[in-house]
């Protein structure tokens, strides 16, 4: 039984045309063994258009940058050409040729980017989608049903329990609104593997977070708790692999036509996906910490206001006590005793709130630092990938 995660299906949209074809062909060779959990299908359809739009946006960003640089350089170099013309007494014909060459200098780059955009982003949002049609033909009826109302409630409660206990999968998504997503697809997968009495469960994902894998001596292995759960619930052996490994094994064991370049693209995409997933986690963690900080600061402001009010009350009654008669003094003492106890309680609450603020600020600041570090890592990987691509093109 072979199960594909959402990120594997979406790779068909993100790969270059040749790599996409090889990925889909490899899936076709696994067709009889493929199965897609309902949660995966749901997330795929929800994110598909975003991926298409992101692909187009990336090309449009590059074209906009080229256009800006073109205008800047045309002006700068154009001014230099005019200065040269005045100093070197260029003929009008020579000056015209220089301006023509300048105007045409960016055309090959723009043409190439537009060509790649047409190949890579051949699908419109409101147009027929050949990639979707191909995936539907490959998967056919091999996908699961959604939970019923009772089963969904039970799965949600279990996802909540596992999140708090940090039991995989999904506990690294604790800060997300839909923290239960990974557990839902996992539960649906286990149910189907048990129904089929599968001997092996091959789960393909580019997710490399610690709630799926453990890193041992630089290598990622399936989290032992997941392996144990599959064996205990289904009697099956779990094999957790990336899209890159799937393609490499499809070439080796299924005689699939998969190039080294396609495997390289899958590897780069896995690294990028892993970094982006961790960036999303740290961003969500920082946002959640900021939200909680606002709530705690509001609580602190209220406590400070109450504490000041009680301090004023204590000061007033203490002054009145100095001039009070014995009977009034007893009443003042009783009132002061109660109010001082209330103030002490509030001061204890303030101390706990201040500790909470410090802890949340540490979480927020650490998350922001981790996000910035990962963003720099991502930029390095993308720059290296561009260098490899330009070397291959040359």
Q: What is the pLDDT of residues 84-134, one digit of tens each?
A: 877 777 778 888 888 888 888 888 888 887 777 776 665 655 567 889 999
Rg (C-alpha) for the chain, rounded Å, is 31
In terms of C-beta density within 10 A (0-12 exposed, 13-18 middle, 19 or more buried), how is residue 130 classed?
exposed
Is the per-residue pLDDT at 249 higher than 50? yes
Among 6-15, 289-298, 322-331, which stretch is predicted with the lowest mean pLDDT? 322-331
Q: Which one is predicted more confidently, 37 or 377?
A: 37
CA–CA separation, 314 and 103 (whole Å): 82
DSSP state of 142: -
Is the per-residue pLDDT at 392 higher than 70? no
Among 43-47, 108-112, 137-141, 277-281, which stretch is predicted with the lowest mean pLDDT? 277-281
Range from 48-52, 163-167, 168-172 that averages highest in pLDDT = 163-167
200 phi and psi, to 5 degrees?
-130, 140
Among 103-112, 260-269, 293-302, 322-331, which stretch is predicted with the lowest mean pLDDT? 322-331
Among 227-236, 252-261, 323-332, which stretch is predicted with the lowest mean pLDDT? 323-332
pLDDT mean over 229-254: 91
Among 85-99, 213-227, 344-358, 375-389, which stretch is predicted with the lowest mean pLDDT? 375-389
Q: Which one is predicted more confidently, 177 or 304?
A: 304
72 phi and psi, to 5 degrees?
-65, -45
349 phi and psi, to 5 degrees?
-65, -40
CA–CA separation, 14 and 269 (whole Å): 9
Predicted confidence at residue 60, as pLDDT, reads 79
**Looking at domain 279-393, does it have CATH number 1.10.287.1700?**
yes
pLDDT-derived band of residue 144, with 50, 70 and 90 as boundaries?
A: very high
DSSP state of 112: H
* Predicted TM-score of the model (pTM): 0.65
Q: Which one is predicted more confidently, 56 or 205?
A: 205
Tokens of 147: 């939970």
Predicted confidence at residue 153, as pLDDT, reads 94
Is the per-residue pLDDT at 204 higher than 90? yes
Is the per-residue pLDDT at 389 higher than 50? no
CA–CA separation, 169 and 145 (whole Å): 20
Predicted confidence at residue 210, as pLDDT, reads 82
pLDDT mean over 297-325: 84
CA–CA separation, 185 and 41 (whole Å): 10
Predicted confidence at residue 127, as pLDDT, reads 65
Is the per-residue pLDDT at 236 higher than 70? yes
Return the ∠ at Cα 332 (arms to 330 and 335), rounded to 5°.
Answer: 110
Predicted confidence at residue 119, as pLDDT, reads 66
Predicted confidence at residue 196, as pLDDT, reads 92
Q: Which one is predicted more confidently, 330 or 155?
A: 155
Tokens of 359: 């802890």
Beta bridge partners of 200: 237
Predicted confidence at residue 34, as pLDDT, reads 94
List the 2-4 sheet strands across, edge first: 34-35, 2-4, 200-204, 237-241
CA–CA separation, 14 and 28 (whole Å): 18
Question: What tens digit of pLDDT does each residue of 303-316 get?
Answer: 999 888 888 888 87
What is the average pLDDT score of the chain?
84
Query: For strand 237-241 and strand 200-204, is the pairing parallel, antiparallel, or unpaired?
Result: parallel
Predicted confidence at residue 371, as pLDDT, reads 86
Q: Omega of the bond prior to 169 within 30 degrees of 0, cis?
A: yes
Helix axes 326-393, 260-322, angle to 10 degrees: 170
In terms of C-beta density within 10 A (0-12 exposed, 13-18 middle, 19 or more buried), how is residue 77 classed?
middle
CA–CA separation, 68 and 134 (whole Å): 39
pLDDT-derived band of residue 9, with 50, 70 and 90 as boundaries?
A: very high
pLDDT-derived band of residue 394, with 50, 70 and 90 as boundaries?
A: very low
């Amino acid at each position: 039984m072979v199960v594909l995660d959402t990120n594997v299906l979406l790779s068909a949209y993100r790969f270059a045309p040749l790599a996409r074809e090889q990925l889909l062909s490899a899936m076709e060779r696994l067709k009889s063994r493929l199965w897609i959990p309902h949660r995966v299908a749901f997330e795929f359809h929800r994110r598909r258009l975003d991926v298409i739009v992101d692909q187009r946006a990336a090309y449009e960003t590059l074209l906009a940058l080229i256009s800006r640089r073109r205008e800047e350089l045309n002006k700068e170099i154009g001014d230099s050409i005019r200065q040269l013309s005045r100093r070197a007494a260029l003929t009008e014909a020579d000056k015209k040729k220089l301006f023509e060459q300048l105007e045409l200098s960016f055309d090959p780059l723009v043409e190439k980017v537009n060509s790649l955009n047409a190949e890579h982003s051949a699908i419109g949002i409101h147009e027929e989608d050949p990639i979707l049609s191909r995936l539907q033909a490959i998967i056919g009826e091999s996908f699961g049903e959604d939970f019923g109302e009772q089963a969904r409630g039970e799965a949600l409660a279990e996802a909540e329990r596992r999140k708090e206990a940090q039991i995989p999968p999904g506990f690294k998504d604790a800060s997300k609104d839909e923290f239960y997503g990974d557990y839902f697809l996992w539960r649906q997968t286990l149910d189907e593997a048990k129904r089929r009495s599968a001997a092996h469960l091959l789960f393909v994902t580019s997710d490399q977070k610690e709630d799926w894998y453990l890193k041992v001596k630089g290598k990622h292995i399936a989290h032992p708790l997941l392996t144990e759960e599959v064996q205990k619930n289904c009697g099956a052996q779990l094999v957790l692999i990336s899209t890159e490994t799937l393609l490499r094994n499809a070439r080796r064991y299924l005689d699939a036509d998969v190039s080294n370049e396609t495997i390289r693209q899958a590897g780069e995409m896995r690294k990028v996906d892993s970094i982006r997933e961790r960036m999303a986690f740290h961003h969500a963690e920082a946002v959640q910490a900021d939200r909680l900080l606002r709530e705690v600061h509001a609580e602190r402001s209220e406590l400070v206001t109450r504490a000041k009010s009680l301090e004023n009350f204590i000061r007033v009654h203490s002054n009145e006590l100095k001039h009070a008669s014995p009977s009034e003094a007893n009443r003042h003492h009783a009132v002061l005793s109660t109010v001082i106890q209330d103030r002490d309680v509030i001061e204890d609450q303030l101390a706990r709130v201040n500790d909470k603020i410090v802890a949340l600020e540490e979480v927020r600041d650490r998350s922001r630092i981790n996000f910035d570090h990962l963003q720099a890592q991502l930029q390095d990987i993308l720059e290296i990938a561009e260098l490899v691509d330009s070397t291959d093109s040359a």
